[in-house]
Structure formats: C-alpha cells, structure tokens
C-alpha cells in the first residue's frame, strides 16, 4: 500500500492482516517503488495524491517496466470524479475505490484482484510450459523428419505411410511411402499381395483384432506400437495412428491410418534398457541390494544403527614381502582369485562383503537385513577361507596363510560418497574385529568373548588368555578351531551328566 494517510494505513492494515494478508506500506511513490523492486507483491493499493509523484505517474512507471507491469493496481482515492476514474483505468489500474470506502468492499475487491492475479500467473505458467512442450515436440518431429528424408530421399513422403483399410481386412489404398516401408516396389503391388492384413502384416496373430476392439470403443488409436512383417518375411516395429471413418448416419465405412517406422527408436530403447540393467547389476555388486534400491529411489543419506552384527577382518600374512617378487599382473591375478573365492563363500553363507583394502578383506553378517544365524555363518566362512587360502602358493612354493579376527555387536552402517558409493560400517564392534585380526596369528581365527558365548555349543574353541586390546583394556579372547561334530556334542553331554551325578547325594 502506497498512501500518505496514516488513518487509512492503520485501517487497511488491521482489515487485511485479519484476513491473512501481509501488508507492506510506503508513504511516497519513491519509497513504494523501492519496496516493490525489493520483493514483488501480489497486489498494489495506490493513492493518487502523493507527496513526490502522483499515483497516475507511478502506475504508468510500473506498467512500463516488464518486471512490474503484471502486478494489479487498485487506486484508493478521495477523488471521486468520473474523469479521475477514467484516467486511472487509462494508465493501467485494475480497479478504483473511492474514499471514504466500505471495509467489506475493499476486502472483496482485494480478494478478487489477488485471485485474478493468481489465475493469470497460473495461466501464464501453463502457457509457458505448453509452449516449451510444443517446441520440444516440434524439435523432435523435425529431427525425425530430417532423418527420414535423408534415409528415404527417393520418396516424396519420407517413411510416413498412409493407408485406408476395409472392415474385412484388405487395403483400399496405400501411398508410395507405405509400400516402400513394407518392402514393396509400388503401392499397387502391396495392395495386390496383401489379402489379409491381420495374417500378412502383423506378427502377433490377434493384434489387428485387439486394435479394432479398441477402435470400437474410442474411435481413434494414437501411437499404437506393433511388430509387422516386410515383404521378405523379416519384421520391424511401427507406430500407428488409426481412426474410424463413418458416414453421415455414423456407420463405419473404413479405417484410415498413418504408419511410422520406429525400429531405430525401439533399438535405442532396448539398448538403454540393457544399459540400465547393467548399471543396476553393477550397483548391486557394489552395494547390498536393499541399499541399492533405496539409492535408486532417491534417498540421499542412508545411515542406520544395527544392534547385532558380526564383523570379520582377514589379512594375508607377509603378503607385502611376497608381492615384491611378483609381477604386477601376477599380483593382481592372485588377489583376484583369492578374493573371488572369498566372495563366493560370502554369498553362500549370505554374508555381506564390505570392502577390500590391499590384501585385507572385510565381511559382515546380519546386515542390511537381520539374519538370525549370522554368527554361525561368519564362523563357517572363517573356517572355509582358512582352508581355501592354502591352495594358493607363495613365490617360494609354500602356501599363503591368513590371519582372521571376528567380533560381534552393534554397528552404524551407511553409504558414503556421491560419485563413487561405498557401503561401510563404523563403531566399537568394527574396531575390535580389526584388532582381533591385527593381534592374531597365522592360520588362526581370534574371536571376542561375545562371539564365543554365542557359538560355544556348536563350535570348538580354546581360550587364548587375557590380552590388552586398545579401547577395551584386558580381554580374554578365544581361538576358533572348528565346528563341533555330533560325537563331540554327545561327549559334551556325557561330561555334563557326569558332573551332575557327582553333585547328587548318594
């Protein structure tokens, strides 16, 4: 509102703010112009008599500026002469309210102008979007037509085929481009050769019947894609626009249509689909399936706390020394073979490979989906890779050895990076698993007390003793030896029974 009358300002401020409007005020034309340029309003209430520039001049100034000419202006003035009103509308006013004014009249007129302004803005946006869409479609059509004219320069109508067909399934007429599209030398030759459109044109036997059923309900089909035969028996894809032609009484006379060759587009779509599938496979190879699906759905930050996860670190013993005597190709091939076997075993036991760092391998169980037996699975995995590593000889002929550490407990898991995604784990459980490996011994599996308690009934362990673990102080750790057999479990039960018998009174 641009008005130098403070009473009017207070009245309109109270009225409009009560009805949800935000009102900014200025008492001169220049101050009002500064507010308008600072942030464009939805509506301007303008007095004619101002101290520096009258309302007519300011309204003309607003209408001459593309940035402000679409903002509706309502004059509020004590000048009630009809000539003043005429002049107000001549300079571009949307409405005119004479002082003294009725409060409800001002409110209704403001509401009406704001509503009209919003409608104009929405219409402008829709028109702009429609123009963009039309321009894009025109560009696409021009590009297609240019390509078709270059490829079929001998034919007047490019690859666009036009036909008329009877209700019984014979062509009544085809243009030269239609005949060329289907591999015929002339339109007449195609009309003679094709006696049954359904059988000789469409690869799918019932395709024409499907199109006719649709036409019986909607009168027209747009962009119907079908696989069709050429004269030599080969097939390609076309897009058809087909419509019914009826007489004055509404009775069907024949069908008309336009045919486009879309083989190139279909091929591109198939290639894009294959590339997308390949990208999806690569993403799933890098990340857990559920995490990959969340990334594809648009999640930007993926992080979750997991209460019970088993984590394993494995490291090839003295690998650095051995690698100095191997060529780069031998080194990479050997690591690829080793970790490929580890990957297969991880997949078999439904574990999640987290990463490899040099000659170190990290795997976890119980994520991203909860898994009840992941402690046992990771223990079996550790035993298997200890056995598998021995089939790989060092340069001196002796087998490689591996050092393994396992821990279990809560972790934080998430995806880091934007260009190169990586699924990783953090927390005390991960740190302790790493230290179990770092303080372990060759061809041995060192585990924490928590994992020992979880698996002691189904696996064989021996205590290593108390040792200092960074971040945890003194800890009793255990060597995992193998899985208990049925006889081991029977012997254990017998020992427990004997211990119980000794405790019973005679």
Strand partners, 246: 252
pLDDT in tens, 386-443: 999 999 988 888 899 999 999 999 988 887 666 667 778 889 999 999 999 999 999 9
Which pLDDT value is given to residue 160?
82
List pLDDT tens digits, range 31-70. Answer: 988 999 888 899 999 888 888 888 888 898 888 888 888 8
Task: Confirm if 361 and 382 have CB atoms less than 8 A apart.
Answer: no
- Supply the DSSP symbol for 307: E
Cβ(247)–Cβ(263) below 8 Å: no
- As a whole number of angstroms, the distance between CA 272 and CA 261 comes to 19
172-189 pLDDT, tens digit per residue, is 999 989 999 999 999 999
* Mean pLDDT in residue range 176-203: 92
Angle subtended by helix axes 55-64 and 82-90, to nearest 10 = 20
Domains of the chain, each with CATH number or no CATH:
6-123 (3.40.50.2300), 161-266 (3.30.450.20), 300-501 (3.30.70.1230)
Whether the pLDDT of residue 483 is over 50: the answer is yes
Please give the average per-residue pLDDT across 119-129, as a whole number.
85
Q: Is 411 helix (H, G, I), strand (E, B) or coil?
A: strand
- By DSSP bridging, strand 252-261 and strand 161-165 are antiparallel
């Amino acid at each position: 509102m641009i008005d130098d009358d403070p009473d009017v300002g207070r009245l309109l401020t109270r009225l409009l703010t009560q009805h949800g409007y935000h009102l900014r005020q200025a008492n001169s034309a220049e101050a009002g112009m500064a507010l308008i340029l600072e942030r464009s309003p939805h509506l301007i209430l303008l007095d004619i008599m101002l101290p520096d520039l009258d309302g007519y001049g300011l309204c003309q100034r607003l209408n001459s500026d593309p940035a402000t000419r679409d903002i509706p202006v309502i004059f509020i003035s004590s000048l009630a002469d009809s000539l003043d009103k005429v002049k107000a509308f001549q300079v571009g006013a949307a409405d005119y309210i004479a002082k003294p004014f009725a409060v409800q009249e001002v409110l209704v007129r403001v509401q009406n102008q704001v509503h009209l302004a919003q409608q104009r803005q929405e219409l402008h946006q829709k028109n702009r979007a429609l123009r963009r869409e039309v321009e894009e479609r025109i560009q696409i059509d021009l590009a297609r037509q240019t390509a078709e004219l270059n490829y079929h320069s001998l034919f007047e109508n490019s690859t666009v085929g036009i036909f008329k067909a009877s209700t019984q399934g014979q062509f009544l007429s085809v243009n030269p481009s239609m005949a060329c599209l289907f591999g015929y030398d002339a339109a007449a030759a195609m009309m003679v050769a094709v006696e049954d459109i359904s059988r000789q044109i469409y690869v799918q036997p019932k395709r024409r019947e499907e199109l006719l059923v649709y036409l019986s309900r909607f009168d027209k089909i747009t962009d119907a894609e079908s696989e069709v035969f050429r004269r030599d028996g080969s097939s390609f894809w076309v897009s058809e626009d087909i419509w019914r032609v009826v007489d004055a009484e509404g009775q069907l006379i024949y069908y008309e249509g336009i045919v486009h060759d879309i083989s190139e587009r279909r091929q591109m779509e198939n290639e894009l689909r294959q590339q997308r599938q390949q990208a999806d496979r690569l993403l799933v190879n890098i990340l857990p399936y559920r995490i990959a699906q969340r990334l594809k759905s648009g999640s930007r930050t993926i992080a979750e706390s997991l209460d019970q996860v088993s984590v394993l670190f494995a490291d090839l013993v003295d690998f650095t020394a051995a690698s100095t005597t191997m060529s780069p190709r031998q080194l990479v091939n050997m690591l690829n073979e080793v970790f490929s076997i580890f990957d297969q075993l991880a997949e078999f036991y439904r574990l999640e490979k987290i990463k490899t760092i040099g000659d170190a391998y990290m795997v976890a169980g119980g994520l991203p989906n909860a898994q009840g037996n992941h402690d046992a699975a990771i223990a079996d995995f550790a035993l298997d890779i200890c056995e598998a590593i021995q089939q790989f000889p060092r340069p001196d002929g002796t087998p490689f050895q591996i050092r393994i550490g396992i821990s279990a407990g809560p972790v934080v898991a998430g995806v880091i990076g934007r260009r190169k995604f990586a699924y990783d784990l953090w927390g005390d459980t991960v740190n302790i698993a790493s230290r179990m490996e770092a303080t372990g011994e060759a061809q041995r599996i060192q585990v924490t007390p928590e994992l020992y308690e979880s698996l002691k009934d189904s696996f064989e362990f021996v205590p290593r003793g108390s040792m200092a673990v960074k971040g945890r102080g003194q800890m009793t750790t255990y060597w995992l030896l193998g899985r208990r057999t049925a006889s081991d479990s029977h012997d254990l039960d017998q020992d427990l029974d004997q211990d119980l018998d000794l405790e019973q009174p005679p």
